[in-house]
Amino acid sequence: MPQESMWRAWYDGLIKPSWTPPGSTIGIIWSILYPMIAFSFIYVMVQSLKGKLSWTIAVVFIINLIANLLFSPIFFGMKNIPLATLDIVIVWITVVAQFFLMWPHAKGISLLQIPYFLWVSTASIIQLTVLVANR
């Protein structure tokens, strides 16, 4: 069985909220969010390297990006629902921190975090529901 078929069969068998968006919609959402995330990340890294932003802020953005990128391998690859839930909570916390840490320095970068926050909040509720419903 091809790799995608294995995780898809597993995922389709999970109990999920009835309002969980289809995979194609999730793909569209991420294709909009990833350029915003990349722009924010690059801006913060450049400003941190120039000494205009604290490395504390940069570390929050780095943790966020790493946790974001690890979600799919943890959830779909390892099929580890509890660890994926912890991971998405880390993503959510760091998105909130990004907004507030950047607000005094670059309001535009803070505002770019709002759509990301809204989606990660939705995805976190889905993930928490999956965790509880599939114990």
d(CA 120, CA 24): 17
For residue 105, give every residue at least 6 positions away whose Cβ sits within 8 Å of its Cβ, in sequence order, or none. 47, 52, 53, 57
State the pLDDT at residue 3: 65
pTM: 0.93
**Statement: residue 26 has pLDDT above 60:** yes
Per DSSP, 17 falls in state: -
Structural Rg of the chain based on CA atoms: 16
**Statement: residue 49 has pLDDT above 80:** yes
State the pLDDT at residue 8: 86
Q: 88 or 7: whose pLDDT is higher? A: 88
pLDDT tens-digit profile of 12-22? 999 999 999 99
State the pLDDT at residue 5: 75
State the pLDDT at residue 1: 56
